[in-house]
Amino acid sequence: MRFVLCLCLCILMLHAVVHGDHHKEHDDDDHHHHHHHNDSEKHDHKNVTCHKIAPSNADFAFDFYHQVTSPGASTNVFFSPVSISTALSMLSLGARTETLNQIIEGLRLNHTDLTKEEIHRAFQYLIHMLNKPDSKLQVNTGNAVFIQKEFKVLDKFSGDMKHYYEATAFTTDFKNTSEAVKQVNDYVEEKTHGKIVDFLTAIDEATVLLLLNYIFFRGEWEKQFSVNDTKIGDFHVDENTVVQVPMMFRSGMYDIAHDEELGCTIVRLPYKGEASAFVILPNEGKLKLVEDALSRSTMKKWMSIVHQRSVNLYLPKFTMSSTLDLKEPLMKLGMPVIFSNAADFSRITGYRDLTVSKATHKAVVSVDERGTEAAAVTAIEMIRMSVPFTIKMNRPFLLLIASDETKSILFMGKVADPTAK
């Protein structure tokens, strides 16, 4: 199978902490009221809400990118911002007071005028939209919660997890760590179609709750590259390092933008279905400048200057994976309390006895000629008669994969060395 494939996983583990006071916390918040609308009205309302969190999710994506990369460095990084946001929003169902505020602010959702319930509804709709079975795009995303057996979770927490995040709950015995590792890894392997195996190597036996979000993406290029045109070529990792990569080639019409000020070229490669890849190629020596400027407003500027033109496009064929420990970046993004003994996750158990012990994220991406192996169909493209502009992705570039329909950034990263394992 040759395809463009991305998948990701975000995991949060919670373990029990012992506080001096072990009294039951009273839940003084308003209980959620469920309103019933007719379907079409509900649909429109959800759609608007889903778009209302898109800017926050994008801000989080760029802020997170800045935390996990060294600008200008030749290290690959790849992650799914929407997977991390979903997992944290799901975790916020169990949080109260300052812990809840830090998650909402850390996810940049405090700039919306949405209530907590509307935020969860927006994620519910996002999950629903991404999983649409009738789409030409294969996106599967889902959530799971593994709970230590005999560990009591409040009905409201498990109900909301199921209702908003369609989370499947599993009973686990984390004290039998090897069995628990296998249970989680088997689930992950199945959900990522065998692309992520042995995700966890170890589990702390104090773990009582493990939250997991996965996203699997398989996209087919609207305009496929011909396998016969792929040739081995040079890729300049940095001034001193050149590696050999299979370089795909295609000549055709593409949306491109040139940013003279930052010194980079942006090419949009549409997938069949509602998604696009944006490949951002900094000019020689401009990688750091472009990375530093990466933000929602910069993307907006680029989108306002894209234009269609005839392009000779060279793009490496590669697979890369990235595993990130989320603790440092999330603390720096404003969520230190979730990892501390001051954490208040009393909406999960009724007690303030939980803290997040580990947060891990893994993503894999493959880029190749076709997208999914498809029956041979030849499409002929009308090209404006102009001298094609050559764009060679033969030095570090940034990659962003976005769902057009939900206005969400599904994946983003830096391809500094496509041959790095």
User: Which residues in the chain are classed under CATH 3.30.497.10?
Assistant: 4-219+320-366
The whole-number pLDDT of residue 194 equals 83
- Which is it for strands 275-282 and 307-316: parallel, antiparallel or unpaired? unpaired
d(CA 254, CA 266): 10
User: 400-414, pLDDT tens digit by residue?
Assistant: 999 888 889 999 999
What is the DSSP code string of 379-393? ------SSPPEEEE-
- DSSP-H helix ranges across 31-176: 39-52, 54-68, 81-92, 97-106, 116-130, 155-165
What CA–CA distance (Å, rounded) separates 77 from 67?
Answer: 11
Tokens coding 266 = 């942006």
Query: What residue ranges of the chain have pLDDT lower than 50?
Result: 1-3, 6, 19-44, 372-379, 381, 383-384
322, 79 in Cβ contact below 8 A? yes
Give the pLDDT score at 132. Answer: 84
Predicted local distance difference test score (pLDDT) of residue 49 = 67
Topology of domain 4-219+320-366, CATH: Antithrombin; Chain I, domain 2 (3.30.497)
Gap between the Cα atoms of 169 and 90, Å rounded: 13
Backbone angles phi, psi at 208, to 5 degrees: -120, -15
Residue 133 contacts residue 95 (beta carbons within 8 Å): no
- Which residue matches tokens 């005999």? 150
Please state which architecture CATH assigns to domain 227-317+378-415: Roll (2.30)
Per-residue model confidence as pLDDT tens digits over 88-134: 999 999 999 999 999 999 999 998 889 999 999 999 999 988 888 76
Ranges of CATH 2.30.39.10 domains, the chain: 227-317+378-415
Phi, psi torsion values for 411, nearest 5 degrees: -145, 150
Task: Report pLDDT for 377.
Answer: 40
Question: E strand or H helix at 211, and its extent?
Answer: strand 207-219
Instruction: Specify burial of residue 33 (Cβ count, 10 A radius: 0-12, 13-18, 19+).
Output: exposed
